[in-house]
Chains A and B, each alone.
Chain A
Amino acid sequence: MSTPEPGTTRLGRWRVSATTLRAYTMVIALVVIWIYFQWMTISELYPYGLFLHPLNLANLLKQMAVTGVLAVGMLMVIVARQIDLSVGSLLGLAGGMAAMTQGWGLGPSLATAIVVGLAGGAIQGALVAYANIPAFIVTLGGLLTWRGVILYVSKGETIPVRLPVFRSLGVALLAPAAGIALAVLAIVALALITIRRNRARRRHDLPVPGPAATALRIIAPAVLIVVFVYVMNQQGGVPIPVIVLLAVAVAGSFLTSATTFGRYLYAIGSNPDAARLSGINAKTHILITFSILGALVGLASLLHTGRVGSASPDAGGLMELDAIAACVIGGTSLMGGRGRVSGAILGALVMATLDNGMSLLSVENATQYIIKGAVLVAAVGFDMAGRRKT
């Protein structure tokens, strides 16, 4: 074919789908920002720059963990053509309730956060799906209501985290040996999945990637895993919140791309009428999606409260916007039906990079807000401009 299909772009002799091209552009943009910050943080103490130092990278990833967990849940909600503005307030409520119930012991305290988040999400999901109230309104109400509830039950006081394990959720490091064990496990799983996938394709008479391509598909991510664990072990080990984020990301990615549930979410977001006429119960799916986000908010509240060391009633303010921004920078369409967990994670990484890098450079708070706002709008602007051409 002489002209490229709409939705694909030609790069020399390679034909790349728009989504793939977009993902690469984002990774390249991220690397450029990293190099810039590295270059700008060169000092006598750090002749090669401070930004990419293992200690700072670990810090950056810890900051990112909360936004990342929220973004995975938010992605599912947005893919289904919904929105959740209550995430920050619900995080404050769940974290506060967990801190207040520490007297019941560790298990019940942590469970409280998850249950509160799940319940909050389920209530909002039910109102959206079954009472037909737009998600924007329901969760705007939630934004106010959940904040009011935590202010009421905590009487406006900040509650310190006393349980050591709770505290460690936000800050502790995984022992280096355990990190290496996890890396090996991940690489073995990766290899097994890739090989099984090839076998399945052969069984269905579909084109199977050759040995070189197969090896590349295993080795490239394996190298990333090894480098990641090595760098983190340089500063004492992989932070626990980062492990939690990775687990959530893998689970979220699996749920959205490999399960019928996830596929139906894309269908509902892409064309609700067609989905309904194809026998999909959109209401149930919307309820479940909001509930999943709620549970992830509960989990994120534990990471956040643990990291800060106390639960203040105004914790989590504006976090819903960070989560939405991460999704949008990661290529998620607010019109529904388009977006990936990997993109949302990359988006969260971009946001955390800007936060961390600008703090290192002692950029004023006011300027930080302005730059983050501009980056969000510019990212979507470039995306739209690129799409109009194809």
Chain B
Amino acid sequence: MNPLLSMRAISKSFPGVRALDDVSFDLHAGEIHALVGENGAGKSTLMKILGAVYPHGEFGGEILVDGVPRRFTNVRDAEAAGIAVVHQELSVVREMTIAENIFLGREPRRFGIIRWEELYSRAATILRELHLDLEPHTPVGYLGIGQQHLVEIAKALSRNARILVLDEPTAALTESEAETLFRILESLRQRGAGIVYISHKLDEVFRLADRITVLRDGRTVSTDARSSLDKAGVIARMVGREVTDIFPVVVRAPGDVVFEARGVTVEDPNVSGKLLVQDVSFAVRRGEVLGVAGLVGAGRSDLLTAIFGAHPGVTRGEFFVGGAKVHIRTPAEAIAHGIGFVTEDRKRYGLLLDQTLVDNMTLASLRDYGRWLPDVDGEAAAGDRAMRDLRIKAPTVFSLAMTLSGGNQQKVVLAKWLLTNPQVLFLDEPTRGIDVGAKQEIYAQINVLAAAGLAIVLVSSELPEVLALSDRVIVLHGGRVTGQFTRTTATAEAVMACATGHAA
């Protein structure tokens, strides 16, 4: 019997990165097949190929459904073949109601006129079947982020998909929402659907999956039945290398406190009365790396953005630079006080993609090259130096930022902040979405900068990264500090317990 889905010898490259290299993957009817691997291992890319986000011709290899080769030219083709992909990023339209979202693009209609009664009654049925206690007329924007994800999943299920792909579906769900999802998946499996389940959370994977495939650096490491695996074995295959290989071991001797924040509280600008960050205090010393651990939504980015004077919500708290109290109301004032901020999501918050590298690198320090008339040659020289120091691979400093690979783009953002001569550097997810080689270079750079006396605050969702690089770690959960560790006391288990709010 043919498997429901078979992906053979799939390869895909992006500029500068080989994302997938000869990956094969199959899925049977009535099976939950988990796909695991580190960030950047290629899981999401593989599923984007399946969902025809990257259409036929943009990748190597072939896709067979029920043993028949299929060439999808767009997302609709894939959907017509019974494939539904719920991506990590939400694709709901916040202004539309739940029912409109579920039927977006395939509204029940007659002669082009939407039949609203049918749309809402069918939506109500779907929500009931999924045991989701939601009113179909509610605009999705009114829902919490977890419920929006459930709507997204309901939208995928409503297509009667035979192949359902869920990419980190529980990342934004509460525990009870996750339980609801697991029940739904269980009943789908019994109905004979095939489910690809991508998750970092091995507990979930071992609870749900029939088989587990491990990807690493764009290659398939193994595919095994769950019963023949244990968690430690899966982790070893995901990592595939000694941790010390990628994290250089360093011994640091931190100096005086450079920056201190006391009682930082940030209000949610969208929901009155809700606090994103609550009474958080920390200090960071010269030559020290302070790790900030926590799950998505714990308030880590809100904390840094608020200190930097860039948060839309009301911020309270006291900040001290070199022992002196400072007032920071705008990013310009933060920069003037010697704070640099390598923001998360470089394409959205960090880069001018259609401008040159040198324009990007000197953006935050342009006034240093002349208050009104910047010395462009001085800039170009500084850009050249930064390119050499950080080993940015690009033809010249006048290349456009969009032409670089993710790792090199990240180094450009880093260069931008180093050129402001900061005393304190905030790094928010500095290695997200870049390949392992570039990660190693960023790690090495963090160590060089700390050794040169910079105080660094590192936010990362990759726990091994935080543990290996930080001298001290604070853990946030629900906007509060739930744990403080030193390098010796910080173990993955202890930090994770605090991050999930289950600390003893």
Contact = CB atoms under 8 A, between A and B. Distances in A.
A2 interface: no
Given A5-B403, A278-B363, A337-B355, A273 B348 contact: yes
Contacts of A338: 354
Interface stretch (A140-148, A181-189, A253-261): A253-261
Contacts of B395: 1, 5
Interface string B19-58: 0000000000000000000000000000000000000000
A279 interface: yes
A270 B371 contact: no
Which of A200, A205, A274 has its CB near the most chain B CB atoms (within 10 A)?
Answer: A274
A260 B371 contact: yes
Nearest to A261: B372
Contacts of A274: 348-352, 363
Interface residues on A, range: 20 to 34
Given A259-B372, A278-B331, A266 B366 contact: no
A204 B334 contact: no
A10 interface: no
Interface in B121-160: none
Contacts of B381: 204-206
Interface in B327-376: 330-332, 334-335, 341, 343, 348-355, 359, 363-364, 366-367, 370-376
A306 B377 CA distance: 43
Given A204-B378, A263-B359, A279 B364 contact: yes
Which of B332, B359, B377 has its CB near the most chain A CB atoms (within 10 A)?
Answer: B377
Contact of B399 (A5, A258, A279): A5
B332 A258 contact: no
Nearest to A258: B373
Contacts of B371: 260
A217 interface: no
A338 B380 CA distance: 20
A284 to B, nearest CB: 11
Contacts, number: 99
A166 interface: no
A162 interface: no
A27 B399 CA distance: 24
Contact of A206 (B355, B366, B380, B400): B380
A279 B352 contact: no
Given A5-B403, A197-B377, A279 B334 contact: yes
B416 interface: yes
Given A7-B403, A259-B372, A273-B349, A206 B377 contact: yes
A57 interface: no
B134 to A, nearest CB: 32
Contact of A203 (B349, B351, B377): B377
B368 to A, nearest CB: 10
Which of A5, A278, A281, A337 has its CB near the most chain B CB atoms (within 10 A)?
Answer: A278
Which of B354, B364, B373, B416 has its CB near the most chain A CB atoms (within 10 A)?
Answer: B354
A35 B197 CA distance: 65
Interface in B228-285: none
Interface string A194-231: 00010011011110000000000000000000000000
Contacts of B351: 271, 274
Interface in B2-22: 15
B353 A271 contact: yes
Contacts of A270: 352-355
Contacts of A200: 375, 377-378
Contacts of B373: 258-260
Interface in A32-63: none
A185 to B, nearest CB: 21
Given A206-B377, A263-B359, A337-B352, A278 B416 contact: yes
A275 interface: yes
Interface string A232-253: 0000000000000000000000
Nearest to B352: A270
Interface in B298-343: 308, 310, 330-332, 334-335, 341, 343
Interface in B167-207: none
Nearest to A7: B400
A203 B331 CA distance: 33
Contacts of B403: 5-7
Which of A7, A266, A277 has its CB near the most chain B CB atoms (within 10 A)?
Answer: A277
Nearest to A18: B400
A267 interface: yes
Contacts of B350: 274, 277
Nearest to A198: B377
Contacts of B332: 279-281
A337 B399 CA distance: 16
A279 B380 contact: no
A201 B374 CA distance: 14
A279 B363 CA distance: 9
Contacts of B364: 278-279
Nearest to A1: B395
A13 B352 CA distance: 30
A290 interface: no
Contacts of A261: 372
B429 interface: no
Interface in B412-457: 416
B380 A204 contact: yes
A1 B332 CA distance: 40
A47 B474 CA distance: 86
B384 interface: yes
Contacts of B15: 6
Interface in A255-301: 258-261, 263-264, 266-267, 270-271, 273-281
A-B pairs with lowest CB-CB distance, top 8: A204-B381, A279-B332, A270-B352, A278-B364, A200-B377, A279-B331, A279-B335, A278-B363
Interface of A: 1, 5-7, 197, 200-201, 203-206, 258-261, 263-264, 266-267, 270-271, 273-281, 337-338
Given A273-B349, A278-B335, 4 more contacts: A206-B377, A206-B380, A271-B348, A279-B334
30 contacts: A1-B395, A6-B15, A200-B377, A206-B377, A206-B381, A258-B376, A259-B372, A260-B366, A260-B373, A263-B363, A263-B374, A266-B352, A271-B348, A271-B352, A271-B353, A273-B348, A274-B349, A274-B351, A274-B363, A275-B352, A275-B363, A276-B310, A276-B331, A277-B310, A278-B331, A278-B363, A279-B330, A279-B332, A281-B330, A338-B354
